[in-house]
Amino acid sequence: MVELKVRDLIKALGLEVLSGEEELGRKLKVADINRPGLVLAGFLQHFDHQRIQVLGTTEFAYLGTLPAEEAWQRWNVLLSLYFPCLIITRGIEIEPTWLEAAREKRIPLLRTPQPTTSFISRLTDFLEERLAPSATIHGVLVDVHGVGVLITGESGIGKSETALELVKRGHRLVADDAVEVIKIGERLSGRAPEVVRHLLEIRGLGILDIRTLFGAGAVRIEQTIHMAIRLEEWQEGKYYDRLGLDEEKVKLLGNEIPGITIPVRPGRNIASIIEVAAMNFRLKLLGHNAALELTRRLAALSLHEGE
C-alpha cells in the first residue's frame, strides 16, 4: 500500500490550500470521510480522528443559525480536534477571523469549488484506490473475451509467448512479467507498473512494444482479474483434471478466484486452451457447466440401464 499524505490530495483533486501548509505531510490511513455536523452541535463522542473532515453548505447554514459567539466557539472546538485535514466545498468563503484561527492551530484547511456530494464521491474513490491493499505478482495479465486472466508459472515456461499469441488472436495485453494487483472492495484489479506498461519480453527477440506493433486496441491499462491459470511442466503420473469437476481456487489478497493448472508439453496450444478456458468461464457465469451436464447424462444413462 502506497503511503498517502494530505499534500497528495491537492494536485489530484484540484484543491486550494487556505492554511496549514506546514502540516500537509499528515498521513491518510482510512478512506472513510466525515461531515462533522454532530461535532458542531456539541456531540464529540465516537469522533474518528483518522478521517478527513468535509464542511459544506449544510454545516455553514447551521452555524449561521447560532449566535455569533456560540458559532465561534463551535468552530474552535472543531479546530481543537486532531484530524488529517478539513475541506470546504462549493468555494465557500471563510470569515477572516475563522481562517486565522485555523492558521494559528496549523490545521490543513483546503477548499474546492465542487458541490459537497459529488466531491465526497470523487474523494472516496480516490482514497479507496490509493489506500487499497496491493501486491506485485510475477506473471502475465491478459484480457480474453472480457475475462481478466492472470497467467503464472515458473520462469521460462512460456507465459509471455502465450500472451503474444493471444494478442495476435485479437485479445489484449494488460501486464507482462510484473502485475500490480489491487483489492478494491471485493474486486481484484490488475495493471502493469507504468515503466513497463504495454511492453512484452520475448526471449530471443527482446522487448516488444505491443501498442506500437498491434495498435491501441491490443492493450489496456487495467483489468479486473476473474481467473488465474498456472502453467507447469507436464509431469508423468501426476493427476490432472480431465472433466473439469475439480474447482480449484487461488487466493489473492484474501479474495478467492477460480484457478486452473495447465500442464505444458510439446504439441499443446496453450493460447487456444486459455482462450477456451475464458469462454468456458463466461458460460459458467450464465449457468452452463459442461462437466456437470456430462455427469448428469451419465447418471441418467446408468439409471436407465439399471431398469
Inter-CA distances, 256 with 11, 123, 251, 263, Å = 35, 28, 4, 22
Q: Is 22 annotated as a binding residue?
A: no
- Please name which of 63, 85, 100 lies closest in space to residue 16, comparing C-alpha atoms: 85
Q: Is 156 annotated as a binding residue?
A: yes
Q: Is 259 annotated as a binding residue?
A: no
Residue 130 annotated among the catalytic residues of the structure: no
Which residues, other chains included, contact 303 with Cβ-Cβ below 8 Å and sequence gap of 6+?
none
- Please name which of 292, 287, 284, 278 lies closest in space to residue 246, comparing C-alpha atoms: 292
Q: Are 283 and 292 in contact (CB under 8 A)?
A: no
Instruction: Report the 10 Å Cβ neighbour count for 135.
Output: 13
Q: Is 25 annotated as a binding residue?
A: no
Residue 241 annotated among the catalytic residues of the structure: no
Q: Is 160 annotated as a binding residue?
A: yes
Out of 16-20, 263-267, 292-296, the most confident range is: 16-20
Annotated catalytic residue, options 74, 159, 171, 230: 159
Reported as a pLDDT band with limits 50, 70 and 90, residue 59 is very high
- Residue 222's φ and ψ, nearest 5 degrees, are -145, 150
| Global pTM value | 0.69
Annotated catalytic residue, options 143, 177, 226, 230: 177
pLDDT, residue 267, reads: 77
Integer Rg of the chain from CA:
27
Q: How far apart are CA 38 and CA 246, in angstroms?
A: 54
Q: What is the DSSP letter of 219?
A: B
Reported as a pLDDT band with limits 50, 70 and 90, residue 124 is very high
What does the CA dihedral 98, 102, 103, 108 come to, rounded to 10 degrees?
A: -140
Q: What is the DSSP letter of 170?
A: T
- Residue 114's φ and ψ, nearest 5 degrees, are -75, 150
Residue 159 annotated among the catalytic residues of the structure: yes
Which residues, other chains included, contact 65 with Cβ-Cβ below 8 Å and sequence gap of 6+?
none
Annotated catalytic residue, options 27, 49, 106, 138: 138
Q: Which H/E stretch holds residue 304? A: helix 290-306
pLDDT, residue 296, reads: 67
Span 79-103, average pLDDT: 95
Query: In this structure, are strands 33-34 and 52-55 parallel, antiparallel, or unpaired?
Result: parallel
Whether pLDDT at 245 is above 70: no
Instruction: Report the 10 Å Cβ neighbour count for 3.
Output: 10
Span 278-291, average pLDDT: 78
Q: Is 155 annotated as a binding residue?
A: yes
Quote the crossing angle between the two packed helices 96-104 and 68-80, to the nearest 10°: 20
Higher-scoring residue by pLDDT: 244, 57: 57
pLDDT, residue 239, reads: 65
Query: In this structure, are strands 227-233 and 255-264 parallel, antiparallel, or unpaired?
Result: parallel
Q: Is 159 annotated as a binding residue?
A: yes
Q: How far apart are CA 300 and CA 302, in angstroms?
A: 6
pLDDT, residue 284, reads: 82
Q: Is 158 annotated as a binding residue?
A: yes
pLDDT more than 70, % of the chain: 90
Residue 288 annotated among the catalytic residues of the structure: no
Whether pLDDT at 87 is above 80: yes
Reported as a pLDDT band with limits 50, 70 and 90, residue 248 is confident
Average pLDDT of every residue of the chain? 89
Domains along the sequence of the chain with CATH: 4-130 (3.40.1390.20), 135-293 (3.40.50.300)
Q: Is 157 annotated as a binding residue?
A: yes
> Could you tell me the end-to-end alpha-carbon distance of the chain, in angstroms, rounded to an integer?
63
